[in-house]
Amino acid sequence: MSDPTEEIPEVDYVEGTGIPIRGNDIDTDQIIPARFMKVVTFDGLGEFAFFDLRFDDEDNQKDHPMNEERFQDANVMVVNNNFGCGSSREHAPQALMRWGIDAIIGEGFAEIFAGNCLALGIPTVTADHESINALQQWVDDNPDGDIEVDVAAETVRYGGNEISVSVDDAQRQALVEGIWDTTALMKANRNAIEETAAQLPYLDQTRSDVEADD
């Protein structure tokens, strides 16, 4: 049987430049407005991330970090508390990922949002209010500065500083061991799943009923 983790990369470390998104209780409707969710695939959602905060009714740019040239190559987002609250739409982390975000550091995350990020291999790590504010200010002052997110060690390093962060135990294990992509895991274990299904009498009965109808 295939190794169940062979197609899933381990995410124990993310490195890159940051982008600060300030404000508590930023909900998923702000991250991706509902009108942009009427899509067949998630492709192209990145351009609509934070759309209503970035553009006015005439599509003119507002003052927002994601519109600033200095942050266009950023892949580590630094946020405040209760980020991703509101509806459970998976389009929110999908939009952020397609904009270019590989990891998010914040004071706190809505549970479902964090789970949806995990499904994409995006770590959501937390630190205290003072540490996040200091990091956001540093990113503002050093848009090209390097940030290192060590998921396994639960640390973030930047500009000669190191802060302790928290990663949910289940999330950290899934990311570090490369078992965060449940779809890939199922594909890799297809034979085992089919063998298990074949032993379940109610599935056999369902299959028999369908074959009889045909």
Quick: pLDDT tens for 55-87.
999 999 999 999 999 999 999 999 999 999 998
40 and 141 inside one domain: yes
123 and 198 inside one domain: no
How many Cβ atoms from other residues are within 10 Å of residue 204's Cβ? 12
Express each pLDDT in 168-209 by its tens digit. Answer: 999 999 999 989 765 554 444 455 445 555 566 655 554 444
- Report the number of distinct structural domains present in the chain: 2
pTM value is 0.81
| Residue 197 identity | A
Query: What does the alpha-carbon distance between residue 185 and residue 189 come to, in Å, rounded to a whole number?
Result: 6
120 and 198 inside one domain: no
188 and 120 inside one domain: no
109 and 135 inside one domain: yes
Q: Is 2 within a domain?
A: no
Residue-level pLDDT at 213: 52
Contact yes or no for 46/95 (Cβ under 8 A)? yes
Secondary structure of residue 30 in the 3-state scheme: helix
Residue-level pLDDT at 183: 53
123 and 213 inside one domain: no
Quote the domain boundaries for residue 200. Answer: 181-214
Residue-level pLDDT at 43: 79
